[in-house]
Structure 1
Amino acid sequence: MPYKKFSTPTALFAGFLTLAILICALYVAKSLVLPIIFAAFISLLCGPAINALVKLGIPRVINVIVVLSLMMGVIFLALSMLTEPAQQWWSKLPDLVKNISQEISKVTSDASKEQGSILEMAEDISLGEMQTNTALSLTKSVITETPTIFSQLFIALLMAYFMLNYGRTLFRQSLKLLSNFSIKRKAVELVQAIQQDLSRYLATITIVNIGLGIAVGFALLALGVEDPFLWGIFAGLLNFAPYLGPMISMVCLGLVGFIQFDSSSYAFIIMGTFIVINMIESQFVTPTSLGKRFNLNPLIIFIWLVIWGWLWGAMGMFIGVPLLVCLNIILERLSMFGNFYQVLRTPETKKE
């Protein structure tokens, strides 16, 4: 039977249809796919340390258990230390709402009667009602989302344990199904490139964000902000989502300064300090640490994060850039796509 060549409109329609099905599948299967992705990231982060311990003669199973336990111990210790100050700041939200309402009423005191009546209705809301509503919403969110978060975290840890212990064996057994030696070699090279480059990216960006959080914490400490390292950790975590995360951190730090000092000028000082620290990190530290290989196009990153944020919310933005790095590695290794991977990178990294 002769080969039938599809027309360009047919190919485009098939491509868009495939993309639409893939997007719907990712949206529906979020609770299933997210633990798998997090498990893969955890295994990539812990893999180098575990491999180094294996070379010392320690059994792999023991290494996996010890490294995962240490990682989770550090996370839970940090969460336990930050729970109390985070609750204190959360309790200040009603005061912030009241202050903003009062500022609006002062600015618009000469407005029309209808506008004045709306503001009076807003001012008549008692602080106790705000606290009650806040407590109810917080309780509802905790009750509904906490089991899901902990169950997905537990599943991700179990998957990471099995990936670290048995992932290599499964990969070797899968290679036996391939008859062509060149395809086997390309598969091995692709997996090794993803493991090495993505683990390097994750480890480097984690260290950079830890440094950013420490720098922001000391800067806020010098400015007299309460619980400075709580907000430093907050800024470091949000920095895993480039551009969008720092914007949210800047706004939140400005609100923190306004709540504590009741001064818009001091809030702008805090925001400006964070912008300076973030610019140093994003323009000098991160590019120098990662090199040109991971210097992705900012426009591509922004659009990519918006798409994943729309699909999976905040967690989608956090894992968006590592997924983009992985896509860049795959496109670079698969020669069938030519040099298309260079589209993802900044103009400075293109080959002449």
Structure 2
Amino acid sequence: MDQPPVIRRAEVVAFALVALLIIALVTVLYFAKAFFLPVATAFIVGTMLSPAAGYLERCRVPRAVSAVLIVIAACAGVAFIVGLIVSPVLEWSTRLPELGALLKEKMHMFDRPLALWQQFQALLGGSEAVPGATFTMPKFEWVQPTFEFLSPTFTELLLFIATLILFIASWRDLRRALVMTFGEHDTRLRTLKILNEIETSLGGYLLMVTMINLGVGVATGLICALTGMPNPAGLGALAAILNFFPIIGPVATFVVLVAVGIMSFSTFSAGMMAPLAFVGLTFIEGHFVTPTIIGRRLELNALAVLIALAFWTWLWGPMGGFLSSPLLIVALILKEHLMPEDTPQLPRE
């Protein structure tokens, strides 16, 4: 009874308050997505593009003009890549019944595995196995909800563009105001170091990742062209866009290449040439190219990337998945400066 408690009541209360604060913040971010998502995206993208605005400013281009030019150039690049993707998608969407029947015909090779799976379900007490079961095409009722989930509203897009331009134009003043908010010299210096490192890291991350993803898109387009796949430019652009989403993007590209290959070629082996070559390409890019170009400093833990991707995608959808890695980089920079390595550490085992 004379020993002090392992966990004091004040610590429990503090932990509970922090937990409640986190729950409240997540709830607000989830239900106010229409406001916080475009604003947060503009802040992250604007921080990434600030070095380009600084370069134009050093070339005697006014900051406001450089912000508008950068946003116009970025929107034009995105519109060009999206145009490459939309053209074949619209063409294929008019042939959905024909393509569905063709894919169903090609999927007869999976009749035996599906029958075995249904028998296994019946043994476990599931649904009855249907003798001679064949592969059935899923219905396309998911197309409209998926489009609504992926496409932002016009108001969100307008808020994002306006916030992005104003943020890039006023980033230098905002940074100075944030630094001068603190009274102590050491705190101001630490804040300035944090902001400079966030700007440098995110700018370098955007530049390197964009170059890598464009290279992946070009290589995928060449692979599709050499293997005889239809619309190689559109498939390459799709691979470049999806590669901005870690883990999920390459998997989605592989699934699309498999589906297109199976429907475009008469044999299964011919249809799998491009997807297998893409697997080799992503292996080289993920294990050799990206770590070498980006460097060890921005190399993120795979488990942390997966958890951040799952959380932000659940919270904010596809754009949350795009923001997951930049937000993780910001969190790591804050951790390095606010909890430096020279603080007392636990002994190594």
Same fold at TM > 0.5: yes
Give the structure 2 partner of residue 90 of structure 1. Answer: 93
Q: Is 2:299 the counterpart of 1:299?
A: no
**Contact preservation (8 Å) 2:88, 2:234:** yes
Of 161, 166, 175 in structure 2, the residue corresponding to residue 162 of structure 1 is 166
| Residue aligned with 2:71, SS | helix
The aligned residue for residue 4 of structure 2 is none
Deviation at 1:303, TM superposition (A): 1.9
| 1:129-188 deviation line (CA, Å, top 9, x unaligned) | x9xx85x8756776x569844332221111111111122223323433322121111111
TM-aligned CA distance change 1:211 to 1:332, over 3 Å: same
The TM-score, its normalising length taken from structure 1, stands at: 0.81
CA spacing shift, 1:226–1:338, aligned 2, 3 Å? farther
Whether contact under 8 Å (1:257, 1:263) holds in the other structure is no
Within a 5 Å distance, the mapping from 1:205-244 to structure 2 comes to 205-244=209-248
Deviations 1:236-276 (A, max 9, x none): 21112222221111111111101111432223322210011
Q: Please provide the CA RMSD for this pair.
A: 3.4
- 2:78 aligned with 1:63: no
Decide whether the 8 Å contact of 2:242 with 2:250 is kept in 1. Answer: yes
Query: Residue 21 in 1 paired to residue 24 in 2?
Result: yes
1:68: Cα distance to partner?
1.7
TM-score computed with the length of structure 2 as normaliser: 0.82
Q: Do the aligned residues in 1 keep the contact of 2:48 with 2:199 (CA within 8 Å)?
A: no
1:115 partnered with 2:130: yes
Q: Report the CA distance between 1:294 and its aligned residue.
A: 1.0
SS of match in other structure, 1:292 = coil
Q: Please, which of 250, 256, 270 is the counterpart of residue 246 of structure 1?
A: 250
Which residue does the alignment assign to 1:271?
275
Cα distance in 2 for residues equivalent to 1:253 and 1:36: 34
Alpha-carbon distance in structure 2 between the residues aligned to 1:294 and 1:339: 22
CA spacing shift, 1:303–1:262, aligned 2, 3 Å: farther
Q: Tell me how far apart the structure 1 counterparts of residues 248 and 305 of structure 2 sit (CA, whole Å).
A: 10
Taking the aligned partners of 2:296 and 2:115, their CA distance within structure 1 comes to: 57
| 2:285 matched residue in structure 1 | 281
Structure 1 residue 9 displacement after superposition: 4.1
Distance 1:311 1:110 in 2: 38
**Whole-angstrom CA distance in 2 between matches of 1:292 and 1:339:** 22
Correspondence for 1:78: 81
Between the aligned partners of 1:256 and 1:275, the Cα distance in structure 2 is 15
Q: CA contact under 8 A between 1:308 and 1:316: conserved in structure 2?
A: yes
Distance verdict in 2 for CA 1:248–1:47, change over 3 Å: same
| Residue-pair matches, total | 328
Q: Partners of 2:48 and 2:215 in 1: how far apart? A: 17
Distance between the aligned counterparts of 2:11 and 2:247, measured in 1?
Answer: 37
Distance 2:251 2:151 in 1: 29
What are the superposed Cα offsets for residues 291-317 of structure 1, whole Å, 9 maximum, x if unpaired? 110111112211221222222222221
Q: How many Å apart are 1:289 and its aligned residue?
A: 0.8
Query: Displacement, 1:73?
Result: 2.1
SS at match of 1:293: coil
Q: 1:216 to 1:106 in 2, by over 3 A?
A: closer
Shift, 1:107, TM fit: 2.9
Alpha-carbon separation, structure 2, partners of 1:242 and 1:310? 15
Aligned-partner residue type, residue 32 of structure 2? A
- The AA in structure 2 aligned to 1:17 is L
Contact 1:50–1:67 (8 Å) recurs in 2: yes
2:294 corresponding residue in structure 1: 290
Alignment map for 1:118-133 (pairs within 5 Å): none
Unpaired segments of 5 or more residues in structure 2? 1-6, 120-127
- Which secondary structure state, in structure 2, belongs to the residue aligned with residue 225 of structure 1? coil
Match of 2:156 among 152, 155, 169: 152
**Deviation at 1:7?**
4.9
The reply to whether residue 326 of structure 1 matches residue 341 of structure 2 is no
Stretch moving more, 248-257 or 57-66: 57-66
Secondary structure (helix, strand or coil) at the match of 1:115 reads: coil
| Aligned-partner Cα distance in 2 for 1:284–1:266 | 28
1:199 aligns with 2:214: no
Instruction: For residue 331 of structure 1, report the CA deviation from its aligned partner.
Output: 0.6
**Which of the two has greater helix per residue?**
1
Q: Is the 8 A contact 2:103 2:263 kept in 1?
A: no
- After TM superposition, the structure 1 stretch with the greater mean CA deviation from structure 2, 248-257 or 266-275, is 266-275
Question: Which sits farther off after the overlay, 59-68 or 205-214?
Answer: 59-68
Is the Cα contact below 8 Å between 2:220 and 2:236 reproduced in 1?
yes
Partner SS for 2:60? coil
| Alignment correspondent of 2:314 | 310
